[in-house]
Structure 1
């Protein structure tokens, strides 16, 4: 017993839950720690894409049931006439197509946690059956009168307003109170934009772990993302980072690289005079997605002007002057380079050195793309902006796999 308790305390001592350092996310992680050790039902509320399943898994992983299965089922994605079989299982021959006995999600989650996502989309008849199971802790497979005991913890989630659904008669009030023992509200991404940099950092690391390129954002691109409303929340951000990882292949992502919806309405290529900044967020993150691939000290320590790009705020709350230099570099590292030529005296060599060829190539490619944007793809005009012969620029376009509107023509 003492060993089990010590293991549980060790699990809770590890930061867990959704990524971010905003007040709202800190509160969510505190609620996770409070409820995880108990077996009470939890209802997670919030818009689609806010990370409700992340919260459910965090509760399970910090609970005494963490060594048993975590089983998730999306109640809104399964037709109403099939959901009963999906949850409770069925016997052979119970209905057309039931060629064998099949266990349901309640049996598969025995001893663990059953996550009922989009519970607000469940039909009223199915709500009645679920309520009975929650009250009596027994269920029957479809086509059988034999009762099975269930030993699962229920965590439900929905993006709907269940209290409004109760008033409209589409959700049972008794089931709501059975599920709503411990509610947790997930904040939308637009209400915690200070978490954008650290979220982008984590998604970038996930892409690197999957064999894709790291995402490097310019200051202007980061500002555009900070102004965006994020209707799809964290899920939308993750999809965007993956797209940029594939599209840009490791070169700095400028405003021109963002899909149109993320750019300001009045944006034009000529307004895209940006600083190239590599967004590296605080190293201390609540859920490490993948081991950090780089070493501390691979970039210059930023000044006050670029701290906001790295951390999303003027200063990270945990950074102090007493911090070790390597830690400060890892937490606030930003590679900053102006579009205009920078005097040699203004360049800072990172403590760990750099791959100069790759670094220069990334800058060169970014400026070439900006010149093409500014000249509407006309290679001759872009060459004049860059002070190059047209034939020289054509060679560089082929090198980087970039196409201009008049590339095929000759001088």
Structure 2
């Protein structure tokens, strides 16, 4: 329900406008002078103002000028019984949305009010979109590992084209950031990036969300809705977690990609859309296809370019860069003095498995900033590590979770057996490397690639810890 403010020193005008607008289900405030009107504007959420020009205590144009400094986004419709072209031009120049002459015409009032409210809504949506775009500009894809460097190179090559891209990777690995940079570096960057989390929308609503619906097309469709494909027209549509989309919605997305046309739910008219689609998933879509959960033809439409974002455990050399960036960012957000992560603390962070990837690392850094003293030490890392990484048992021992699996009791870490954090870190690193080697059937090249280190570095670790194949 929109809220409208009426400012007019004639009681009859205020009463007539209130009656008309309340009949149309608008919420109405009114004031008989400019000072009271501006006071209401400051205190209440106002979507539109109707203001008389000729008033005794404060001229309507003065009210308009003052309102621009209070809430410039609120559209003003100016009213005058002595309307002239000069007055209308002056009102428009000062920022008025429109100008109405007395005696007021009912139809003209309602049409102008509706148009002004729609304009205000579009302005607000534009601000939100601009904020999203600007926020994407501030976040870089951090890291200099070989895998990340290749992803950045791929983005540079692919972004200027309209090729569809499928981004894969674990939850929290940074798939959304890749999608944002593909849009940011594209020729569509001055138009919106519209994001849809397919896993967060109930299956019965996903088609309405994507393609929109016509008024009355189903019980709760009380008005027409513009879908995400139309909203993104000219720009980019990011379909996150597309592996969770229902098969019926997949069929309609496929048609939209093939024909560049959509039809709203309950509608008959075909609407042309010019959209670049980027999709992302944490699922193995080829397995989903085998199980009948995902359409093969849609997979091929989406995966013109495939970008796989590695897990954080596969690029541990990037952790110092990422953690330092998070530390600076979070200290700034909290208006706290900058904190340094010591070398020992960074080594400790690199020794942890990070099943929650980048998202978990950011949470960890935030926790360390809040709870540690002037600098973040290795003892802080051990003390404040997420329970999903190290879970104490009866206050004396812990289990290490590696790649989502829990080590057996015999391999669990008992804090009392370590004299220093370095001893603890070496033990954890040895267990982690041994696990990865076993998992890869002692293929050293593949294991080195998996954990994000040079093969020569891995050979040194194997020799250091005396690891042998069983």
Normalised by the size of structure 2, how large is the TM-score? Answer: 0.53
Cα 1:166/1:17, change in 2 over 3 Å: farther
Deviating more after overlay: 29-38 vs 91-100: 91-100
Shift of 1:268: 4.7
2:353 corresponds to 1:229 = yes
Q: Deviations over 1:266-303 (max 9, x none)?
A: 335984568xxxxxxxxxxxxxxxxxxxxxxxxxxxxx
Instruction: Give the structure 1 partner of residue 250 of structure 2.
Output: 127
Shift of 1:113: 0.4
Determine which structure has more spread, i.e. the larger CA radius of gyration: 2
2:305 corresponds to 1:178 = no
Which of 266, 285, 294 is 2:414 aligned to? Answer: 266
2:174 corresponds to 1:19 = no
Instruction: Give the structure 1 partner of residue 163 of structure 2.
Output: 40
Instruction: Give the structure 1 partner of residue 319 of structure 2.
Output: 196
- Contact (CA 8 Å) 2:169, 2:282: kept in 1 or not? yes
Q: Deviations over 1:357-399 (max 9, x none)?
A: xxxxxxxxxxxxxxxxxxxxxxxxxxxxxxxxxxxxxxxxxxx
Instruction: Give the structure 2 partner of residue 256 of structure 1.
Output: 383
Which of 163, 173, 179 is 1:56 aligned to? Answer: 179
Quote the Cα distance in structure 2 between the aligned partners of 1:259 and 1:271: 22
Cα 1:260/1:224, change in 2 over 3 Å: farther
**SS at 1:165's partner residue?**
helix
2:340 corresponds to 1:216 = yes
Where does the alignment leave 5 or more consecutive residues of structure 2 unmatched?
A: 1-136, 391-399, 401-412, 423-451, 455-470
- Contact (CA 8 Å) 1:212, 1:246: kept in 2 or not? no
**SS at 1:163's partner residue?**
helix
Instruction: Give the structure 2 partner of residue 364 of structure 1.
Output: none
- Contact (CA 8 Å) 1:24, 1:187: kept in 2 or not? yes
Quote the Cα distance in structure 2 between the aligned partners of 1:160 and 1:169: 14
- Contact (CA 8 Å) 1:215, 1:244: kept in 2 or not? no
Quote the Cα distance in structure 2 between the aligned partners of 1:142 and 1:234: 38
Shift of 1:17: 5.3
Shift of 1:125: 1.0
- Contact (CA 8 Å) 1:17, 1:55: kept in 2 or not? no
Quote the Cα distance in structure 2 between the aligned partners of 1:39 and 1:181: 10
Question: Which is bigger in relative contact order (C-alpha 8 A, separation at least 6)?
Answer: 1
Name the structure where helix makes up a greater proportion of residues: 2
Instruction: Give the structure 1 partner of residue 74 of structure 2.
Output: none
2:285 corresponds to 1:162 = yes
**SS at 2:204's partner residue?**
helix
Shift of 1:260: 4.7
**SS at 2:166's partner residue?**
strand
Name the structure where strand makes up a greater proportion of residues: 2
- How many corresponding residue pairs? 264
Shift of 1:217: 3.0
Where does the alignment leave 5 or more consecutive residues of structure 1 unmatched?
A: 1-13, 275-311, 315-411
Deviating more after overlay: 96-105 vs 125-134: 96-105
Q: Deviations over 1:127-174 (max 9, x none)?
A: 111101110110011121111111110000101111111111111110
Shift of 1:15: 11
